[in-house]
Amino acid sequence: MEILFSIIIPTFNNVALLKKTIQSVINQENVSFEIIVVDDSTNNEIEDFMVQYVSGNIRYIHNHPNLGAVKNWNYGISLARGQYLIIMHHDECFKDTTKTLQSYLSHISLGNEVIVAEVEVIMNAHVLKRFSFLRCIKQKLLKGIPSLLYFYNFIGPVSCLCIKKELVTIFNEKLTWLVDVDFYYRLFVGTQQIFYCSSVVQSMHGHEGQISKNIDVLKRHKEDMRVLFSTSYKTFSQLFFIRLSYWYQYIKFLIKS
């Protein structure tokens, strides 16, 4: 059977979070999909847990040695066989555990190449309110000013995207803080067939392994800015929003200090 969706799950040292992610995917109904778990853990806990799941449509790879976060994401992409890719980190999951992929398929059948879901951020079991535009406005912004994402990521995590395989590029492994939005920018510059749907991806914040809790955001932002200023695809609009984003983060840092 031809595989329609590849759900790539990069994971690292957190079995509890991975369980919820896996459960939100395996019960999706009436669509063909594969699950690819790429494990960058420094122990065997996830490997032991995955024994019960590995089957024809679920693949598990434990990296030895570990690759690091962004390289692990790219490795997962390289293994995908589906027509559409979803990259879902182990602290994210589908809110609707049975019909999300059916919803995506209905929008794909209308000719859309990228489906964008809403994000629901959960911190300590509470849903956080997050400023967001109306879906129709966000869709226009993605088509007209994708560089705005460097200043304000109104998409959320990459798991909110379902992308036609031919459009998927790799993440820039030199980036840390802006790695997601740079991936989005290059994606949306390349396509206008975008649909913002009502499906919801839940994103768990506040846990020990959350990347943004374990880096110096301002330092990484400055390093990423240097990398992006040297790329061949930079535009005036892109550079403007990257600089604006850095100064916004800098002002936040001064206020907190």
- Each residue's pLDDT tens digit, 191-209: 889 999 999 999 998 766 6
pLDDT the model gives residue 19: 95
pTM of the model: 0.93
pLDDT the model gives residue 212: 65
What rounded mean pLDDT belongs to the chain?
Answer: 92
pLDDT the model gives residue 135: 87
Helix locations, the chain, DSSP H: 15-26, 45-50, 69-79, 100-108, 135-144, 179-189, 217-229, 236-256
Q: Tens of pLDDT along 26-65? A: 999 999 999 999 999 999 999 999 999 988 899 999 999 9
Both tokens of 45, joined, read 């806990």
How is residue 99 annotated by DSSP?
T
Mean pLDDT in residue range 159-169: 97
Q: Tens of pLDDT along 105-150? A: 999 999 999 999 999 999 887 888 666 778 889 999 999 999 999 9
**How many whole angstroms separate alpha carbon 79 and alpha carbon 57?**
13
